[in-house]
């Protein structure tokens, strides 16, 4: 697929992208006095997706921030410095239990395996054929663009640099890249090589001495945009766990392993291998009664089915199920399991999902966002997100 995206885009999109970055960088003195343009990473993501009409994946906790034409793109912005800087590419704080007893090469192999599986899971989830990094580096009054492949770590060629490692960091390399793993922060960093003479594009950024004057002149236009944005409801979503909140585990006969439950009737046939459901904790109906339009005691037949758009753009028909509306499943029943178990987790039929499997890829819940009464979006969220969502509810209702 190649390692360059920018140069394959049409001239208009390229010029729009550079113009948006330049304008944003020109307002840097809103934030700092440096002559290095300031670029907030969320702004970089939004600019990239607008200019190239790419899908913004940043609402899902995956290894790509954007995608277009089956290519996943990790977007990063950082100071150019010497063109050989280490930058964070993955965090494993919430998955510490998976490697806390490992040391040395065993630890690095485990971290590499987890990193690789996150990349593969992203590709399977969004139906991608390749992954790259798109980099915006920043230097004195200019920005530079670079791109490179997002390689998996080659397990067979890993070598630890013992001379430059210490009690807090382990430096290592494979045949493609150099890495550093921070033991205290459980963070993986990769060295990005960005020599100025190899940039895809270099452009100057004139930083306004007084950006406030510019904003005041643009006040009317900005006010109109603010009114438009105010009409959009950003928080109309819920976080649903892919495990049992009661036990903290993926139960062997329910949820993602519902296919392993006893037959529906004595002596009846086994449940289909792709039968799964996602738990809807009772408190969510109480906290957001209009989300599923369900009230306690309602007959579930009165609750309409709804369309859910998956990260790969496919749509599933789904519905509330079980007494009290404590789960959602697809209709047909096996569609959701075929996607999660086979396409995303890449499991063979009959394989039980475990919490450790979810920890390895760094997700344990989903965000269900409401677009309309019958339309929703589904995205995966990182380990611990459901617990934070529940805690926020408890804190605001006590």
Model confidence at 228: pLDDT above 90: no
Final residue in a domain of this structure, among 174, 198, 230: 230
Closest residue by Cα to residue 309 from 126, 128, 52, 130? 126
- Same domain membership, residue 136 and residue 241: no
Q: Are residues 270 and 151 in the same domain?
A: no
Reported as a single tens digit per residue, the pLDDT across 349-366 is 999 999 999 999 999 999
Average pLDDT over residues 269-273: 93
Q: Are 146 and 137 in contact (CB under 8 A)?
A: yes
Residue 113 placed within a domain: yes
| pLDDT reported for residue 266 | 86
Pair 374, 337 in one domain: yes
Residue 223 has pLDDT above 70, yes or no: no
- Please check the confidence at residue 1 and state whether its pLDDT lies above 70: no
Whole-angstrom Cα distance, residue 152 to residue 113? Answer: 9
Has residue 1 been placed in a domain?
Answer: no
* Residue closest to 330 by CA, chosen among 309, 353, 351, 361: 309
297 with 387, same domain: the answer is yes
Q: What are 203's two structure tokens? A: 């452009």
Strands 237-241 and 363-372: antiparallel
Question: Does one domain contain both 110 and 55?
Answer: yes
Q: Which two tokens stand for residue 129?
A: 């054929």
Of the candidates 179, 207, 230, which is a domain's last residue? 230
Count of domains observed in the chain: 2
Distance from C-alpha of 275 to C-alpha of 305, rounded to nearest angstrom = 18
- Of 146-155, 206-215, 276-285, minimum mean pLDDT range: 206-215
Q: Does residue 173 register a pLDDT over 60? A: yes
Task: Measure the CA–CA gap between 116 and 34, rounded to whole angstroms.
Answer: 37
Residue 116: which domain range?
Answer: 6-230
**Residues 98, 16 share a domain:** yes
pLDDT level of residue 220 (50, 70, 90 thresholds) = low
Quick: pLDDT tens for 49-91: 999 999 999 877 899 999 999 999 999 999 999 999 999 999 9
pLDDT at 224: 55
216 in the same domain as 276: no
Q: Which of 211, 230, 249 is a domain's end point?
A: 230
Residues 148 and 249 in one domain: no
* Claim to verify: residue 183 and residue 252 sit in the same structural domain: no
| The predicted structure's pLDDT at residue 395 | 77
Domain shared by 222 and 147, yes or no: yes
48 closest CA partner among 122, 134, 174, 153? 134
Its pTM stands at 0.87
At 210 the pLDDT is 87
- Give the gyration radius of the chain's Cα atoms: 24
Please enumerate in sequence order all residues whose Cβ is within 8 A of that of 23, keeping only pairs 6 or more positions apart, or say none.
none
Q: Which two tokens stand for residue 395?
A: 């804190």
Residue 325 and residue 211 in one domain: no
Range ranked top by mean pLDDT from 115-119, 217-221, 294-298: 115-119
């Amino acid at each position: 697929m190649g390692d360059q995206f920018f140069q394959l885009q049409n001239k208009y999109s390229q010029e729009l992208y550079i113009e948006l970055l330049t304008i944003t960088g020109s307002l840097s003195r809103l934030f700092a006095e440096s002559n290095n343009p300031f670029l907030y990473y969320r702004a970089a993501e939004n600019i990239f997706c607008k200019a190239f009409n790419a899908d913004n994946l940043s609402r899902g906790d995956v290894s790509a921030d954007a995608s277009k034409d089956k290519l996943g793109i990790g977007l990063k912005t950082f100071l150019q410095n010497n063109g050989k800087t280490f930058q964070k590419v993955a965090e494993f704080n919430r998955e510490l239990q998976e490697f806390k007893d490992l040391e040395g090469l065993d630890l690095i192999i485990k971290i590499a395996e987890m990193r690789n599986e996150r990349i593969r899971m992203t590709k399977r989830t969004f139906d991608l054929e390749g992954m790259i990094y798109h980099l915006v580096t920043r230097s004195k009054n200019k920005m530079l663009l670079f791109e490179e492949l997002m390689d998996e770590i080659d397990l067979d060629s890993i070598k630890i640099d013992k001379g430059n490692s210490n009690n807090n960091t382990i430096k290592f390399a494979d045949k493609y890249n150099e890495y550093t793993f921070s033991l205290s922060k459980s963070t993986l960093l990769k060295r990005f090589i960005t020599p100025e003479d190899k940039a895809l594009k270099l452009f100057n950024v004139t930083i306004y001495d007084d950006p406030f004057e510019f904003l005041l002149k643009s006040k009317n236009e900005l006010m109109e945009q603010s009114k438009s944005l105010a009409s959009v409801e950003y928080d109309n979503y819920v976080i649903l766990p892919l495990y049992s909140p009661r036990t903290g585990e993926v139960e062997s006969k329910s949820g993602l392993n519902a296919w392993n439950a006893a037959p529906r009737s004595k002596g009846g046939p086994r449940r289909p291998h792709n039968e799964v459901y996602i738990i809807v904790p009772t408190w969510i109906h109480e906290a957001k009664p209009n989300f599923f339009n369900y009230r306690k005691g309602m007959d579930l037949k009165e609750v309409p089915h709804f369309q859910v758009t998956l990260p790969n753009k496919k749509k599933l028909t789904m519905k509330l199920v079980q007494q009290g509306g404590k789960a959602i499943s697809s209709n047909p029943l096996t569609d959701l399991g075929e996607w999660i178990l086979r396409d995303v987790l890449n499991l063979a039929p009959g394989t039980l999902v475990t919490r450790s499997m979810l920890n390895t890829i760094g997700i344990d819940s989903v965000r269900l966002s409401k677009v309309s009464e019958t339309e929703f979006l589904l995205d995966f969220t990182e380990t611990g997100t459901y617990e934070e969502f529940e805690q926020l509810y408890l804190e605001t209702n006590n």
